[in-house]
Amino acid sequence: MSESVLIGGLNVDKVSRDSLADELIADVDRDLERPRLVFSVNGQGISMAATDPEFLDNIRKGDLRHADGMSVVFASRLLTRTPLPERVATTDFFHDAARAGEPKGLKFFFLGASEDVVRRAYYAAKDQYPEIEWVGFRDGYFSEDEEADVCRELVESGADVVWVGLGRPKQEAFCVRNAHRLQGITWMKTCGGLFDFLAGNNPRAPQWMQSLGLEWLFRTMQEPRRLLRRYIVTNAHAVWLFLTRSGRVARRLEP
């Protein structure tokens, strides 16, 4: 059994970067009936879950939800008796997974973003981790009617991990809706804007800003017109949810 804690209305699993990578490696050796759906939770996701019932239903169907925002970690430390061990940012965890997966020859597939961005991200990651078996990439511009074909491509690639960068709430909905079509894949891991970082489009915030939970501010400074209002609104809403819907410890059964 693995423990989770209620933060802002969502149960978030108490995992570290290392323990999450260990779970991935262990799952590769298991005979799973379908892929595990591994989702990330940050302040924006907390806010969306409280206002979008379909997104809430989908993210609750995830097999594992990790804290991808320092605000979630801070809230657990201030408002619960069982704080989360650390932030597991997907942009960091990707590298943990790749390093852990190289000795086992794990197979990665990138799904999402534009054709140009996902291509550049794929080959940049391939150069950095040559021992990973890179089995394909596809952009995220497809309709729901095309999802059966997309899933067929993913399964036929032989991927162990599909990194799904379709953006919220599309990426979670895609994973939940199609899990039954994806037998043979170990993890469907949502990854938001990971491909932009790997492609070199978006720089990471300085480490001191990451440690203080200010990466959102750094991103806003980079793209104020697109992100300023979103972060002001969602951050304020998330804080209210942290204060009113946090604290209960829950248990999660392993698959």
Per-residue pLDDT of 73-87, as tens digits, reads: 999 999 998 899 999
At residue 49 the predicted structure's pLDDT band, cuts being 50, 70 and 90, is very high
Residue 212 has what pLDDT? 65
Q: Distance between CA atoms of 247 and 79, rounded to whole angstroms?
A: 6
Q: What is the pLDDT of residues 52-73, one digit of tens each?
A: 999 999 999 999 999 999 999 9
Strands (DSSP E) contained in 42-177 are 64-67, 107-112, 133-138, 161-165
Residue 20's closest CA among 86, 77, 97?
A: 97
CB 124 within 8 A of CB 132: no
Beta strands (DSSP E) in the chain are 2-7, 10-13, 36-41, 64-67, 107-112, 133-138, 161-165, 187-190, 249-252
Using only the alpha carbons of the chain, give its radius of gyration. 17
| For range 5-30, the mean pLDDT | 96
Q: DSSP secondary-structure letter at 202?
A: S
